[in-house]
Structure 1
Amino acid sequence: MVLFPVKTLRNVLALLTFSALLTSGVSALSFSTIAGLTVSAARAEAQTPKIGKSGLPLPRYVSLAKPKVNLRKGPGLRYPIEWVYRRDRLPVEIIAEFDTWRQIRDWEGTVGWVHRNMLRGRRTVMIKDGTQVLRAGPEDNAQPLLQAEAGVIGRLVDCEGAWCRVEIAGTSGWLRSRDFFGAATSEDVN
């Protein structure tokens, strides 16, 4: 059995369909209409939010629930451990679901599988690069409250446009979503 990546498989199927249509006497104009409808349907599907088996949207951000979490190559205990996270509350993004397993992506782009019991819905953020200033309001010129270095974890409260309210070390303030990992730009957290 030959396995193709999904993208390649779609191209092969499109080529076979085109060949079959041409040999059956369908004009190129008709085929372009059919192909256009297929592309339109694919775009509509891409814009529709995905819902996982859990009934929750995909992708979505969550945090690690334990101080030690194994990242596996596949969705099950039989798959090898690729990485061990040793940081409670670390934000991760769930990108797929299989039974009780969740495929996650971390701040570095590493992808693997963890059991759902190792995750919690509480939203956290992690400062990505350099030192970021937590501000009193959602503006670049708002009063600075504290400085947070790369790797600092805080609790995500809510977002308004490109700014999110975050609590770090008991202080609540605002950061731009581009300055941390744990929320999509302009995401509705509530």
Structure 2
Amino acid sequence: MSKPLIKPLLAATLLASLASSVFALEYRSTARNGVILYDAPQESSTKRFVLSANIPLEILAEQGNWLRVRDRDGTLAWLTKADVSSTRYVQVNRLAEVRKDAAANSALLFKVERNVVIELLQDTRTGWLKIKHRDGAIGYIRIEDVWGA
């Protein structure tokens, strides 16, 4: 490799690594029932809607004690940091199969209906998520079958 190409190549590599970290998605879930989402980061602003516990939200920005979030439908709103939990949940997009292991040919444990919220235990980084159903059953679901991971 000739010397004139080294600096541009290093710059391109650095920019690519920065871009991947800048665009990493962050999700959290509502901490309790009755979480209020607002139009602006202040309690005197218009209340948009109220969420149940464990609803996954994408974190877009932080401003003081407030978080700008997006829900599965793309709705943007604000809520207080105290209203989110570090325990992660995902929301099922469509009727989905939960398998015993992280493989399509693994035994089918059960199916989950659209909109069901399930606890996220682990992202295997293989396209499968280890999840826990509210009845205690643990298995693996395809990442494309859920929102919030």
Q: What range describes the TM-score normalised by the shorter chain of this pair?
A: 0.7 to 0.9
- Partner residue, 1:99: 64
Unpaired stretches in structure 1, ≥5 consecutive residues: 1-35, 51-57, 184-190
Q: Deviations over 1:20-46 (max 9, x none)?
A: xxxxxxxxxxxxxxxx9xxx6876653
Q: Which amino acid aligns with 1:141?
A: N
Provide TM-score, normalisation by structure 1.
Answer: 0.66
Aligned to 2:108: 144
Residues matched between the structures, number: 137
Equivalent-residue separation in structure 1 for 2:123 and 2:16 (angstroms): 27
More strand by share: 2
Distance 1:158 1:42 in 2: 29
User: Relative contact order (C-alpha < 8 Å, sep 6+): which is higher?
Assistant: 2
Which is richer in helix?
1
Q: 1:166 to 1:44 in 2, by over 3 A?
A: closer
Normalising by the residue count of structure 2, what TM-score does the alignment of the two structures yield? 0.83
- Following the alignment from structure 1 to structure 2, what is the Cα–Cα distance between the partners of residues 81 and 146? 38
Q: Is the 8 A contact 1:59 1:96 kept in 2?
A: no
Distance 2:20 2:98 in 1: 33
CA distance in 1, matches of 2:18, 2:105: 41
SS at 2:72's partner residue? coil
Q: In structure 1, what is the equivalent of residue 99 of structure 2?
A: 135
Counterpart pick for 2:35 among 69, 90, 95: 69
Distance 1:44 1:177, change over 3 A: closer
From 118, 121, 145, the counterpart of 1:179:
145
Structure 2 equivalent of residue 126 of structure 1: 91
Corresponding residue SS for 2:42: coil
- Structure 2, unaligned stretches of length 5 or more? 1-7
CA distance in structure 2 between the aligned counterparts of 1:43 and 1:163, rounded to whole angstroms: 26
- Name the residue aligned to 2:44: 78
Cα RMSD (Å) of the superposition?
2.1
Superposition pairs of residues 110-125 of structure 1, within 5 angstroms: 110-125=75-90
Q: Judge conservation of contact 1:162–1:177 (CA < 8 Å) in 2.
A: yes
Identity %: 25
How far has the Cα of 1:178 moved from its partner?
0.6
Which structure has the greater CA radius of gyration? 1
